Chain A
Amino acid sequence: GESVGLHLPTLSVQEGDNSIINCAYSNSASDYFIWYKQESGKGPQFIIDIRSNMDKRQGQRVTVLLNKTVKHLSLQIAATQPGDSAVYFCAETDSWGKLQFGAGTQVVVTP
């Protein structure tokens, strides 16, 4: 697939450990913040979103935290598995669904 990972920050995580992926966003007026996962050679895949009036949202094995004071978004993955190895993108949007993606973080899960 596209070599998007060559210059991306990399997070190396041992299998079974928890992962925390961080993202700084720029637009205080964004209504939603979203996390996408992209495996090599595939299109991005939606993971979870959070509305701007929330601080925390949980999904299956994932938790997204939003700190509007410092414009910071994080994705926590519990019990990281080999299948979690991918590039993770944060994105922000207004209500019209026009997503603005960040640069991405490469997550490598080691046995």
Chain B
Amino acid sequence: DAGVIQSPRHEVTEMGQEVTLRCKPISGHDYLFWYRQTMMRGLELLIYFNNNVPIDDSGMPEDRFSAKMPNASFSTLKIQPSEPRDSAVYFCASSPTGGSLTEQYFGPGTRLTVT
């Protein structure tokens, strides 16, 4: 299995621009999670989906952030407009149903730099 796939791996954009991060979870995993990692705040859960339906988006920082999961094999995290404080590494993770959801499989991350 290829694991969780994220693209792009690096993104540099200017303040005010729209940014779209992409994720392909592991086939057969019903849960998908989006995290953000910074030095200041550590690793934070932004939103998670179960069977393509958003379950908890309480971690989404503000309305500039949105996430979708149109099908079981694809999810996007969009930031519009982007700001320098959004600079971070964004991780997508997936997990199969049936367990405690403690074992989540993380992708390699997208390093976002907003200038």
**Additional A-B contacts beyond A49-B103, A91-B102 (6; CB < 8 A):** A2-B89, A2-B111, A4-B37, A32-B102, A95-B100, A100-B45
Partner of A97, one of B4, B39, B44, B101: B101
Interface size on B, residues (CB 8 A): 28
Q: Nearest chain A CB to B45's CB is how many angstroms away? A: 6
A3 lies within 8 A of B39 (CB): yes
B108 lies within 8 A of A43 (CB): yes
- The distance in angstroms between the C-alpha atoms of A6 and B40, with both chains bound, is 10
Q: Nearest chain A CB to B96's CB is how many angstroms away? A: 11
- The distance in angstroms between the C-alpha atoms of A43 and B89, with both chains bound, is 10
Within 8 A of A (CB), among B39-54: 39, 42-45, 48
Q: From DSSP, what is the main secondary structure of chain A's interface residues?
A: loop
Q: From DSSP, what is the main secondary structure of chain B's interface residues?
A: strand
Question: Which residues of B does A touch, CB under 8 Å?
Answer: 4, 31, 37-39, 42-45, 48, 55-56, 88-89, 91, 93, 95, 100-109, 111
B39 lies within 8 A of A89 (CB): no
B31 lies within 8 A of A97 (CB): yes
B104 lies within 8 A of A98 (CB): no
B100 lies within 8 A of A7 (CB): no
Question: Which residues of A does B touch, CB under 8 Å?
Answer: 1-4, 6-7, 31-32, 34, 41-46, 49, 51, 89, 91, 93, 95-104
Q: Nearest chain A CB to B8's CB is how many angstroms away? A: 15
A102 lies within 8 A of B45 (CB): no
